[in-house]
Amino acid sequence: MQKFLSVAMAAFALLIGGASNASAGPEPSILTITGEISHPNRGALDPFRDAFLMHKEKTFAKAFAFTLSALAALPQTKISTNVEGWPGKIELEGPRLRDALAAAGVAPDATIAATALDGYNVELTPEEMASHDWILAVSADGVPLSIGGRGPVWLIHGTDGKAVSQEVEATWVWALYLLEVK
């Protein structure tokens, strides 16, 4: 009886553990890299499953799709910055842009178009990419960036504690979901 109980309790614990783990398993991708990449991890745009990209006419034959876990598995960098109008200094954390691009097999001299969910688009030349420590921030002050907020990803760079102009701030892309390699 004792044995039966402990086996039953172990099974119950497994069940509970399994239930609380219900969200584990395949994760959605939050950032897609298309264009000139040599290490794709997915195939061509699927007009049905990739409805959003399809509507934006972002067709591709191959791409690299990052889940949040895949971005978190790259070395993480923290930058802190403060801009007039913000609530204060904010610490942003995520992988370096160049590490994510390297994972997808992007040439270091490529030009990258970064596009956000709202259509905001910034083109980064190799010079612009090399002149700052760009990160793909996925959290702000330890809180994950959300869709509906500035997530899923905020493309941003550190400013060495210096104040930045609106011109610089305009190159930072929040709600980023797509990087196109030119």
Residue ranges that bind ligand MTE, judged by CB under 6 A: 116, 118, 120, 166, 169-170, 172-175
For residue 152, the minimal CB distance to ligand MTE (Å) is 11
Q: Which is nearer to Mo ion, 69 or 166 (by Cβ)? A: 166
172, interface contact from ligand MTE, Mo ion, none, CB < 5-8 Å by kind: ligand MTE
For residue 173, the minimal CB distance to Mo ion (Å) is 12
Integer-rounded Cα Rg, in Å, for the chain is: 20
Residue with tokens 């990209």: 53
Q: Which is nearer to ligand MTE, 72 or 90 (by Cβ)? A: 90
Q: Which is nearer to ligand MTE, 97 or 175 (by Cβ)? A: 175
The two three-digit tokens of residue 167, written as one number? 């011109």
For residue 167, the minimal CB distance to Mo ion (Å) is 8
